[in-house]
Amino acid sequence: MQIADGVLKEFIAEFNEMLERMGLGLSSPDSHRDPVELVRSIYRDIHTIKGNAMMFGLPLTGRLTHAIENLLDLLRQKKTPLSPELVTQLLGGLDYLQQISLSLSQHKHEPQIESAINQSVASFEAFYLRLNASETAVPTGASEPQPNIAAAVAAPASSPSAEAVQPNIERVAAKSNAEEGIQETIRVNVQVLDNIMNMVGELVLVKNQMQQRVKNLHEEDVQISQRLSVITSELQTEVMKTRMQPVGNVLNKFHRICRDLASELKKDISLEILGAETELDRALLEAIRDPLMHIVRNSIDHGIETPEERRRHQKPGQGKVSISAFHEGGQVIIQISDNGKGIDVERVRKKALEKGLITGDKPLTEKNILDLVFHPGFSTAEKISNVSGRGVGMDVVKTNIEKIGGTVELESKAGQGTVTTLRIPLTLAIIPALIIACQNQAFAIPQGRIVELIQIDPSTSEMHLESIEGSPFIRLRGLLIPIIPLQDLFSKTKPFSGGSRPVQTSNEYGILSIVILSSEGSTFGAIVDDIYDSTDIVVKPLGSGLDAVKLFSGATILGDGSIALTIDVTGIAEQANIKNRAKGQTEQKISAETMRLRDSTDYLVVELSEAGQYALPLSTVHRLEKIAIRDIQMSGEFKVCLYRDAILPIFSLSKILGYKEERDDVDASVIVLSRKGRLYGLRVAGILDIMTSDAEIDPTVSQRREICGGFIQNTEVYTIIDPFAVLDNCHPGADGGIAAPDDPAAEQARKVQRKKRRILLAEDSRFFRNQITHFLQDSGYTVVAAEDGLKAFNILKSSEGKSFDLLLSDIEMPNMTGLELAEAVRAEPGAKTLPMLAITSRYAANDIARGAKAGFDQYLEKLNRDELIKHIDASLGVVA
Amino acid sequence: MNASANAGVLSHSGSDANAHANAQKTQQYSAFYVHKHLYGIDVQSVQEVVKPMPVTPVPHAPPYVIGLINLRGQIATAVGLLELFETGKKSTPDMMNIICNIEGNLISLMVDEIGDVLEMTRTDFEETPATVPVAVARLLEGVFKTKDALMSVVSIEKVAAEIGIKKKS
């Protein structure tokens, strides 16, 4: 018999409690107001003990209580008054139970008194028969049970006669033990605990207020206040503890479930539970019960194979599900792992395709596919069984766990099993939060939702707030993070619409404080006026009449007595429409890995005076500006405006492309381009969006030099504009205005030198291959292009290989990636010094490191023509 | 909402016959002024009256929710009767608070001025006159005629329903 400690303790505590209650009732039955009710109550207790004993596999207890129960049932039915004989008989039975309880608590098993119990059971049965035969046939047998009991108790001992008095001693001993037990644990109504918890919460608040006030008072007052503060904190901790329960309370029930399910499914499964003593707030424990159950059922039903199947795969016939609970970083981690067949990624993918959750055209990583399991309505069970596959799936698990501020992760290895990890906060009632200010009002943001804090100081910071049509965003480690000015979001008068006015900072230095938040997979930033403090808050419900306000999840009272609303991060994301945008973002994230393989490019989507969607490679865009029409002046034949203390020439993109010029409104949307260190403005009718696309680019859509191709994304056709070609066109000497003309003679000298140099270009995207070849040839270089790394490598190894002066390679390519190519080239004798430049549409610091390791000399941006040529020139020693 | 429906809501009068039987009974009302009019609210539903309190505004809340009040550690929702009655005026932080406890929800009605507790006899009760603006009438039980003024009885149930407090059945 193996019972987890916590459960056994709980069982014994209850057992003793009931024994005491019954003992008390039976010892003084006359004082009991309602004898019938007394019998009933004893019957209930015995019945409970019997049930528990059966569950824990305690045969002696079970048999004895069964016999007692039968007798009591008779009493109950016939409403026989409790005769003294009966009481004695019952008390005798209780003594045995007490003895068992004592043994259980000391040795964790039933005492070796089988024969005694058998005799006792027999005496109960005899009593039962006698009573049953005649209700009144009690008198003669009155004294009979007594010796029986004495004998029975004596039986286990070696010399019965010597220990005939045993039961009384045992009873006394057990009693004192039970009394001690009472001191160790008492059962308290949960409601009482909750009330205490609430009041302690209030006390914490009062204490905080007190602390604020006594600052200016006499020293003694401060001391008293400090003591109050210490005691309150300790009280709070202790009260929190009363709400803590071992997770075993939930986990241990799974033994039974596992056994039942396994036999139903004809599987052989052992369940292992580790860390059952790990404690968790009872409200949370309640909340994780069902999700846990679901995961365990999943493991048993989907995970573990049948013994035959397991043996076929050289696994032991018995499968193993283990649940372990432990503390980590202020959270409780519960891991459910099985050594079953793991999740069939291919089947999940097919299922997702079938259900239209994904489209087949994008390859997904294994992790992405596993995440699909959390998608609503997803269930891979082939037939709907009693066990799982009832349509409620992992999505419910995820929702429920996230509701209490936790997370779920899934890992699976085909053939080896699945690990599900739940991360649960310790408690809900008091949460750590960051207090921020917005328009002189304090708000609390739950720490769990905060990713990081960022300050942007325009005078020093490299990061700056950019905007698309007034919607601000920042670039954070290569990701575009949408930014919400909380002030706008909270403004009552103007509903948030993306905010078309400039972001205001309350700070006189213009320093922006941004809290980066995450909600349901999307990340965004909130501009706040000030960041105050990190503190533990007691969250209270928001109050009546405010159900419709989704921005806040509650309110808390701060130390100074003022109220801070608790920001609901998901709510503000919804309000600011981040969710929809973020959806795109996550989808992009899902395939982020795969997109790299297909060369994705970021585009700025703009509107021109002519219908259609026009896209500019984002890498060519320097800044986006709104310039007031009245600030735009004519300088000769060009429109110009004053921009950062210089003259910015502004060209109409529509006009250059042969359409009519943009209508003059109040403001002009201007794309600022930087070329050779000079700035140019391209005016467009509107800036619509930033998008990432890996769609195939068709370069044949237009013969115009300014249009370098077109692509289709989500059934929309986008025309790609080459902004530099536009500048060339609109302004042959495009270097008027701000730009100083480059020295034509020097450029000519460079061109002559370049003629003798041969460049091998490895690039799988036709569009980029053509573009780069085109502008390298334009500048004078001889270019040979290869469609992937392998082709390039073969060319290098061939006879003409020696003639190349430089290798220019894309990174993500089929057959052989740029990194593999670089390594292969560096491994070739005679190619150790060949200059190699990596070109890519996006890169981060760790990409550069990886590239350098593979052998690349430099990482460059694909469409940044001038930079590219400058670096190639430098690598090849081309000088003016 | 029509006037007869209003009368039906009165706590002790299910029908006209009942109303008549209760005619001599009196009921106490907490009187207050909003927008220079005299109103009353059943004294049973009033927990306390407190002086002006700092109010924490709640962005995106309905216009009649002025904000939240820290009432000795409990959070009460401050409801502006000026806004609820659609008077076109705005409640200010210097208004008095009548704290009502509706099924465990603390509501603070923000009013201009607090009056006495008035004892009213049912014989003086009338349905809300049809000419009272709907914005006000929809929240009234009816009107008492006093010696020198009319006191409109604000139904806390109707106010609760209006601001979205669900009744626990």
Rounded distance between C-alpha atoms, residue A86 and residue A84, angstroms = 5
In B56-85, the residues whose Cβ lies within 8 Å of chain A are 56-62, 65, 68-70, 73, 75-77, 79
> Scanning the structure block, which residue is given the tokens 């103007």?
A494
- Where on the phi/psi map is residue B73: left (φ > 0), alpha (ψ -120 to 50), or beta? left
Q: Which amino acid is at A761?
A: L
The residues, ordered by sequence, that sit 6+ positions from A715 with a Cβ below 8 Å of its Cβ are: none
pLDDT at position B119 over 80 = yes
Chain B residue whose CA is closest to A486: B59
Query: Which helix (H) or strand (E) element contains residue A328?
Result: strand A319-328
A173 compared with B105, residue with greater pLDDT: B105
Nearest residue, CB atoms, A549 vs list B54, B58, B79: B58
What's the whole-number mean pLDDT along residues A381-390? 43
Contact yes or no for B164 and A548 at CB 8 A: yes
User: pLDDT digits over A611-666, tens only?
Assistant: 778 888 776 777 788 888 888 888 777 788 888 777 888 888 888 887 888 777 77
- Is the CB of A544 less than 8 angstroms away from the CB of B70? no
The partner residues of A647 in beta bridges, in order of sequence, read A642
pLDDT classification of A732: cutoffs 50, 70, 90: very low
CB A682 within 8 A of CB A723: yes
d(CA A111, CA A101): 9
Min Cα distance B107 → chain A (Å) is 7
> What is the rounded average pLDDT of the residues A559-563?
79
Task: Among A540, A563, A575, pick the best mutation site for testing chain B contact (most B Cβ within 10 A).
Answer: A563
Structure tokens, B12: 């002790």
- Give the gap in angstroms from C-alpha A347 to the nearest C-alpha of chain B: 46
Least confident piece of the model among A238-247, A308-317, A789-798? A238-247
Query: Which numeric CATH code is attached to B3-9+26-45+113-162?
Result: 2.30.30.40
Of the candidates B57, B73, B77, which has its C-beta nearest A543's C-beta?
A: B77
B48-111 shares the fold of B3-9+26-45+113-162: no
B-interface mutation test, from A546, A552, A568, most B Cβ less than 10 A away? A546
Give the nearest chain B residue to A206 (CA atoms): B73
Is residue A230 packed enough to be buried (19+ CB in 10 Å), middle (13-18) or exposed (0-12)? Answer: exposed
Q: Which residue has the tokens 């359409």?
A: A659
- Is B56 a residue whose pLDDT tops 80? yes
CA distance B146 to chain A (A): 33
CATH superfamily of B48-111: CheA-289, Domain 4 (2.40.50.180)
Give, for A600, the enclosing helix (H) or strand (E): none
Average pLDDT over residues B144-154: 87
Element (H, E) at A237: helix A219-243
Q: Is the pLDDT of residue A593 over 70?
A: no
**DSSP per residue, A742-809:** P-HHHHHHHHHHHHT-EEEEE---HHHHHHHHHHHHHHT-EEEEESSHHHHHHHHHSGGGGG-SEEEE
Average pLDDT of chain A, as a whole number = 75
Whether the predicted interface score ipTM is above 0.95: no
Residue ranges of the domains in chain B? Answer: 3-9+26-45+113-162, 48-111
Asked if A555 lies within 8 A of B57 by C-beta distance, the reply is no
For residue A594, is pLDDT > 70? no
The per-residue pLDDT for A701 is: 63
Cα–Cα distance for residue pair A548/A541, rounded to 1 Å = 13
**CB within 8 Å: B60 and A551:** yes
**Measured distance CA(A584)–CA(A707) in Å, rounded:** 27
> At which residue do the structure tokens 């000298």 appear?
A749
pLDDT tens figures, A685-712: 888 887 777 666 766 666 677 777 777 7
Residue pairs between chains A and B whose CB atoms are closer than 8 Å: 76
Q: Residue A466: which H helix or E strand, with range?
A: strand A466-468
Burial A361-382 (b: 16+ CB within 10 A, else e): eeebeeebbbbbbbbeebbbee
What is the distance in angstroms between the Cα of A442 and the nearest Cα belonging to chain B? 9
User: What gap in Å lies between CA A754 and CA A796, rounded to an integer?
Assistant: 20
Q: Which of A547, A548, A563 sits opposite B70 (nearest CB)?
A: A563
Query: Which residues neighbour B140 within 8 Å (Cβ) at sequence distance 6 or greater?
Result: B6, B128, B132, B152, B153, B154, B155, B158
pLDDT tier for residue B15 given thresholds of 50, 70 and 90? very low
Give the DSSP H or E segment for A428.
none
Domains with residue ranges and CATH for chain A:
5-184 (1.20.120.160), 190-243 (1.10.287), 248-425 (3.30.565.10), 430-585 (2.30.30.40), 598-730 (2.40.50.180), 744-876 (3.40.50.2300)
Which tokens belong to A729?
A: 């066109």
Lowest-pLDDT choice from A204-213, A490-499, B55-64 = A490-499
- Residue B30: is its pLDDT beyond 90? yes
Q: Is A623 part of the contact surface with chain B (CB cutoff 8 Å)?
A: no
Q: Which residue has the tokens 């060209």?
A: A651
Among B68, B106, B160, select the one facing A563 at the smallest CB separation.
Answer: B68
Chain A interface, best mutation among B45, B50, B60, B156, by max A CB count within 10 A: B60
Shortest distance between the Cα of B3 and any Cα of chain A, in A, equals: 25
Given A547, A551, A565, which is nearest B164 (Cβ)? A547
**What is the predicted pLDDT for the residue at A399?**
77
* SS3 assignment, position A669: strand
Sheet harboring A552-557: ordered strands across? A530-538, A430-438, A441-446, A563-567, A552-557
In chain B, which residues have their Cβ closer than 8 Å to the Cβ of A547? 164
Q: What is the DSSP code string of B85-125?
A: TT-S----TTSEEEEEEETTEEEEEEESEEEEEEEEEGGGE
